Structure 1
Amino acid sequence: MPISRPRSRLRALLSSMSFWVVVALILGLLVGAMVEVSGSAALTGAIEAVEPLGGVWLNALRITVIPLVFAMLVTGIVSIADAASTGRLAVRALVVFGIMLTAATIYAILAGLGLLNLWPIDPVAGQALLSGIPGDSIAAVGEAAHTDGLRAFLNSLAPSNLIKAAADDGVLGVVVFAIAFGFAATRLEPRLRTPLALFFEATAEAVVVIVHWVLLAAPIGVFALALGVGLRAGVGAAGVLGHYIAIVCLSQIGVIILVYLAVRVFGKIGFGRFSQAIAPAQVVAFSTQSSLASLPVMVERARDYLGVSHASAGLVLPLAVAVFRLTSPVANLAVCLYAAQLYGVPLGIAALIAGGLTAIAVSIASVGLPGQVSFFASVGPICLAMGVPIGVLPLLLAVEVIPDILRTIGNVTADLAATRIIAGDDEAETEPAAAGI
């Protein structure tokens, strides 16, 4: 999907807005905690009057999830099919991307559950944090029944009424239908497929504009939610948010380490040479938080330092930036597993499978979106598919800046590793002396 000018402006806006969202979170927690300490009934009433603004803002974001994911899934699948039709190398790349995404998703579930088992959320602090979240958002806990049990899980894959499934937050069924619809669109003749793909691309762009408008109010919405959390949980809520950042970052660091191991085994390149070759691209990823902005450096490092042919680097890396985000299922599932433990939602094997399948699907659908947009477009559907409430997501969004840096670094690292693996020995050029290793 092409990156439009409105989306570029949105990315620039969000890069500065992240600062104000963090400020709003901290200020809301402090003000709420100070009012709680003061014991003033008038100030407490004032906060309780402002709190509903946070719920309204959350609902405005939530309403965009289904149409955005559906439209982007369709256009993403059509673009993948178009890429596959370009030749053998593109098909090979898509196969490698698929294998790596599947492995990363399995790792994400195991790592997320393992980390939270070894380092669980403080139950008292967690409940105090949730006490400041609007009560209606917690009602979704009962939706876990949709994915508990094999029969319910299988039924959720093919709902009898798509509109009702969407209204009931039956996201998995919507995702499955969107995937089927996307593949069906690829079988149409060009005169029909092209306008259909353009329609859903335009739909996705229009919804992104709506999200843009909603996110303009992000500091206000987060401040309103943080006031309630600070009033009921005090500054102790900051400890839970810090714990959340650590869990998500550790999950991503783990998958990055696995990428280094994979490129050593399958790409047949030493750790030292690979690390030195990709370091400049990782620096650009850190500073820009954009895989697209890192693409020129990635192409240069792949060709001149990783021994990848010009043809392979020129095809595989742009394709990777367009449809491949390895850290997406890892980070998104870490968020969902954290929210599940926070809310006390038990996750059976069916819920984990539903979350994993949805994570893979939305990792393709949300490619190219700015971090704050993709956070809701990706994490929201996975939470809903697993039966986990999403009321806490705005607070987690406010501290997404640090995990988002690792997301980009991990994606760039995986893109270069996959490019080396896909090129293989048969296409690898002589190791350049410039590598120095």
Structure 2
Amino acid sequence: MQCHAAVTQIKLPAGWTFAALIAGLALGWLLSETAASATALAIAGPVGSVWLRALQMTIVPLVAALLVTGITQMVATARAGPVARRTLLTFFIILFAGTLFAAFATPALLEVFPIPGRAEAALAAESATAQPVPGIGEFIESLVADNVIAAAAETAMLPLVVFFVALGAAISRLEGVQKDVMLRLFEAIGQTMLIIIGWVLRVAPIGVFALAVSVGLASGGGAFAALGHYILIISGLGLVILLAGFLLGILASRRGPIGFTRALVPSLAVAISTQSSLASLPAMLQSCRLLGVRETTADFVLPLAVALFRATGPVMNLGVAIYVAKLTGVELTPQLMAVGIAVALVTTIGSVSLPGAISFITAIGPIALAMGVPIEPLAILVAVEMLPDIMRTLGNVVMDVAVTATVDRNKPRGPDPSASSGRANISTRT
């Protein structure tokens, strides 16, 4: 799916968005104790709300499109041969372990390093009321929607995820023209939604400024400390994955820390400058050659990793959802944590490997909604995502190369049916 191409034609004003965030918080802080505060809130509130709703309206159709195409691609890959299945199993083990880590580590970090200032109470007041926690019986019943249209209207993400995963699996069983038509339909929907997101993000400085004014009016200077705290906590989760990737790569390549790091330099340079693992793919192929990875392995595993495996995705996305839950006072029971882990793992299949500002809300929104966590604070956090997103990309790139070296080390010598088709026609939808 070529949905990344159309979006990357739109230049995203990341620097202006960050500046608008700072300016909005500062203005709100200055006006918070003045007679003009009510007027400022009356103007900024609706503007920010409209911009947030414009982002929210793309969540369900984009998740549907990317889950369906991701599931069909994963099923096709699993049929390619034993090496492909071992690669997918390696992906899953790393993603599952990382997501479990985030589920336990994020609440622990927030207990040790609590969110500072008045921002916690302010953001909780500004957010929508959290969804009630269902009992175990209601939870089981909620897994399957009797009316998927009604579920979409209510943004009931858990039954929607179940439905679209089943739909993707069913489409993978179709043959010929029917399968091609269905896949093209969902690919087109996904591409269209990403174009709309690109349009909405072009006016992000206006929307973020309005939202930031509202937050500044409520929290004063506490929001600045909270945003810095958020960046450190979420980037720290990504750093753990990056270090784990280095350890795995050193063991798999048998090159030692210095040799593995030298081979990664081209990939890391591109990753920092582009914040996209897709754009880093040619450099990652070069890194694998420097590590002595067989070309057939690299040509198969790396594009597959870029398409389906984003090691930092479920870890940092779940971490953000837990952070917002803490901000808004949502109590996360073990049941809700389990839901978050499951949705984070499934939706990473359909996430897009583009700069985080494009996919931030559509990637984290489904997790938060499934856990009953309000998503309004995400519209503020997206303005600083360019900083954690660097860690996301670095962690993904390091882990992609490390997994490729691991698969190559464990692959038997001789003909490899999984890699015989070169890059296995991996979709570039990411």
Q: TM-score, normalised by structure 1?
A: 0.90
Query: Would you say 1:229 and 2:215 are equivalent positions?
Result: yes
C-alpha separation between the residues in 2 aligned to 1:402 and 1:170? 30
What does the per-residue CA deviation read over 1:177-203, in whole Å, with 9 as the maximum and x for residues that have no partner?
Answer: 111110111111122111100000001
Q: Which residue is equivalent to 1:155?
A: 141
Query: Would you say 1:117 and 2:111 are equivalent positions?
Result: yes
The one of 171, 184, 188 equivalent to 1:198 is 184
Q: Which residue is equivalent to 2:401?
A: 416
Pairwise CA distance, 1:265: 4.8
C-alpha separation between the residues in 2 aligned to 1:255 and 1:310? 26
User: Match of 2:2, SS?
Assistant: coil
C-alpha separation between the residues in 1 aligned to 2:410 and 2:81? 19
Identity %: 42
Q: Which residue is equivalent to 1:30?
A: 26
Alignment of 1:279-428 (within 5 A): 279-303=265-289, 305-426=290-411
**Distance verdict in 2 for CA 1:230–1:428, change over 3 Å:** farther
C-alpha separation between the residues in 2 aligned to 1:331 and 1:186? 30
Asked if structure 2 preserves the Cα contact closer than 8 Å seen for 1:35 and 1:231, the reply is: yes
Pairwise CA distance, 1:225: 0.8
Query: Would you say 1:74 and 2:68 are equivalent positions?
Result: yes
Q: Structure 2 regions of 5+ residues with no counterpart?
A: 415-430
Q: Which residue is equivalent to 1:432?
A: none
What does the per-residue CA deviation read over 1:354-408, in whole Å, with 9 as the maximum and x for residues that have no partner?
Answer: 1111111221111234421210111100000110001111110011110000000
User: Match of 1:367, SS?
Assistant: coil
Pairwise CA distance, 1:74: 0.2
User: Match of 2:239, SS?
Assistant: helix
Q: TM-score, normalised by structure 2?
A: 0.91
C-alpha separation between the residues in 2 aligned to 1:227 and 1:4? 32
Alpha carbon RMSD of aligned pairs, Å?
A: 1.9
Asked if structure 1 preserves the Cα contact closer than 8 Å seen for 2:118 and 2:220, the reply is: no
Alignment of 1:12-31 (within 5 A): 13-14=11-12, 17-31=13-27
Over 4 Å off, 4+ runs: 264-269, 425-429
Q: Which residue is equivalent to 1:64?
A: 58
Asked if structure 2 preserves the Cα contact closer than 8 Å seen for 1:308 and 1:427, the reply is: no
Query: Would you say 1:40 and 2:35 are equivalent positions?
Result: yes
C-alpha separation between the residues in 1 aligned to 2:322 and 2:374? 11
Structure number having the greater helix percentage = 1
C-alpha separation between the residues in 1 aligned to 2:171 and 2:227? 43
C-alpha separation between the residues in 1 aligned to 2:324 and 2:26? 23
Query: Would you say 1:178 and 2:164 are equivalent positions?
Result: yes
Q: Which residue is equivalent to 2:426?
A: none
C-alpha separation between the residues in 1 aligned to 2:174 and 2:51? 40
Asked if structure 2 preserves the Cα contact closer than 8 Å seen for 1:76 and 1:364, the reply is: yes
C-alpha separation between the residues in 2 aligned to 1:188 and 1:352? 35
C-alpha separation between the residues in 2 aligned to 1:362 and 1:348? 21
The one of 230, 239, 243 equivalent to 1:257 is 243
Aligned residues: 414
**Distance verdict in 2 for CA 1:188–1:345, change over 3 Å:** same
C-alpha separation between the residues in 2 aligned to 1:67 and 1:125? 32
Asked if structure 1 preserves the Cα contact closer than 8 Å seen for 2:339 and 2:370, the reply is: yes
What does the per-residue CA deviation read over 1:128-148, in whole Å, with 9 as the maximum and x for residues that have no partner?
Answer: 3444x3xxx422x1x1414xx
Asked if structure 2 preserves the Cα contact closer than 8 Å seen for 1:324 and 1:367, the reply is: no
